[in-house]
Amino acid sequence: MQGLISYRECYQSGVKRLHAAGVPEPETDARLLLEFVCGTNYNTLLAHGGTKVSREKEAAYEALIKRREKREPLQLLTGEQDFYGLTFRVNRHVLIPRQDTEILVEYALKRLKSGMELLDMCTGSGCILISLLAMTEEVHGTGADISKEALLAAEENGRRLLTEDKQPEWVLGDLFSVLQGRRFDMIVSNPPYIPSSEIVSLMPEVRDFEPVAALDGGGDGLLFYENIVRQSSAYLKQNGWLIFEIGCSQGEAVSGLLKTAGFAEVEIIKDYAGLDRVVAGQWNGRELCLIS
């Protein structure tokens, strides 16, 4: 049934409500939610703003605006997020892919070659692993996570976005616990790295709706880096690469962990804002030093 409100009026109502709720970029979110509900695009607002919106779509839009007013992330409302040219399905069991993480993908692509064995530790939605496999040929990928729900989301994304010959293996376990006896040419990871005490101060979109287990990196935020670095020598081939995403203040600390453990070619890579974002090192086969 045709409603009484126009497309433009619907949008304007959404903007007003999101602005009053303190939502960042209310104009963008109101527009994207309306496009999601109506199956339209940006041109609709510009060229066809007077078109009447059906009562059903108006009600659906109203429901999503109400959820966004409570700071539920836009990506959870639409169920998807674009990352490295691909559209990933997301839910409350995985971190929402972020543009900063594309820096890790770009760096890893420079090192990946056909025939390599690739491991994505703490894979979450699978966005890193799937993006790397989509951009390479004859690379065998494995994604590991402690969350069964996250792996189900990653597996769905893999089925949707990769051809059959590029499908990765998904393994459930605590870090390397189910990978004994295997070695990889490259390990990539975006592990939890927020210090425990800082979780409460995060934006409500993150603090209240994304999985805490995928955020909390322990007292100083370095817990997972320490554990992965400590164990990684048993799972990397000679001259294999370990590549992390990091918090912008963790470059020196994480690069120090790799150097102490015997990694060579340790490098800190900055993001487009000039902030430390990725740390990488090459395993040279020396005995791993203990990290206290």
CA–CA separation, 269 and 256 (whole Å): 14
Using CB atoms within 10 A of its CB, is residue 20 exposed (0-12), middle (13-18) or buried (19+)?
Answer: exposed
The reply to whether 139 falls in a domain is: yes
Q: Calculate the CA 213 to chain-centre distance.
A: 14
Q: Residues 287, 270: contact at Cβ < 8 Å?
A: no
Helix (H) or strand (E) holding 72: none
Q: Are residues 41 and 111 in the same domain?
A: no
45-59, 223-237, 270-284: range with lowest mean pLDDT: 45-59
| pLDDT the model gives residue 291 | 43
Q: Are residues 44 and 106 in the same domain?
A: no
2: pLDDT confidence band, cut at 50, 70 and 90?
Answer: low
Q: Are residues 207 and 247 in the same domain?
A: yes
pLDDT, one tens digit per residue, over 68-100 is: 999 999 999 999 999 999 999 999 999 999 999
Domain containing residue 13: CATH number? 1.10.8.10
pLDDT, one tens digit per residue, over 244-253 is: 999 999 999 9
Q: Are residues 84 and 60 in the same domain?
A: no
pLDDT, one tens digit per residue, over 104-160 is: 999 999 999 999 999 999 999 999 999 999 999 999 999 999 999 999 999 999 999
The reply to whether 75 falls in a domain is: no
| pLDDT the model gives residue 19 | 97
Q: Are residues 172 and 85 in the same domain?
A: yes
Q: Are residues 88 and 61 in the same domain?
A: no
Question: 101-134 burial by CB neighbour count: b if 16+ within 10 A, else e?
Answer: bbbbbebbeeebeeebbbbbbbbbbbbbbbbbbb
| pLDDT the model gives residue 4 | 81
Q: Which residue has the tokens 């040929």?
A: 137
Higher-confidence residue of 289 and 93: namely 93
| pLDDT the model gives residue 129 | 98
pTM for the model stands at 0.92
Phi and psi dihedrals of 47, rounded to 5? Answer: -105, -20
Q: Are residues 66 and 155 in the same domain?
A: no
| pLDDT the model gives residue 3 | 61
Pairing of strands 52-54, 236-245: unpaired
Phi and psi dihedrals of 10, rounded to 5? Answer: -60, -45
The reply to whether 292 falls in a domain is: no
Whether pLDDT at 292 is above 70: no
Q: Are residues 62 and 174 in the same domain?
A: no
Q: Range of 19's domain? A: 2-70
241: pLDDT confidence band, cut at 50, 70 and 90?
Answer: very high
Q: Are residues 246 and 169 in the same domain?
A: yes
Q: Are residues 56 and 88 in the same domain?
A: no
Question: Looking at the DSSP assignment, which residues form a beta bridge with residue 2?
Answer: 54
286: pLDDT confidence band, cut at 50, 70 and 90?
Answer: low
Using CB atoms within 10 A of its CB, is residue 10 exposed (0-12), middle (13-18) or buried (19+)?
Answer: buried
The reply to whether 290 falls in a domain is: no
49: pLDDT confidence band, cut at 50, 70 and 90?
Answer: confident
Q: Which residue has the tokens 């990889």?
A: 184
Whether pLDDT at 219 is above 90: yes
**Domains identified in the chain, total number:** 2
| Cα→Cα distances 110→26, 167, 179, 180, 280, Å | 38, 21, 25, 27, 12
Q: Are residues 174 and 66 in the same domain?
A: no
Q: What percent of the chain stands above pLDDT 90? A: 93
Q: What is the mean pLDDT of the chain?
A: 94
Domain containing residue 165: CATH number? 3.40.50.150
Q: Are residues 18 and 114 in the same domain?
A: no
Render 169-214 in DSSP notation, one character per residue: EEEESSTTTT-TT--EEEEEE----B-GGGGGGS-HHHHTTS-GGG
Average pLDDT, integer, range 64-70? 98
Closest listed residue to residue 147, CA positions, set 168, 172, 166: 172
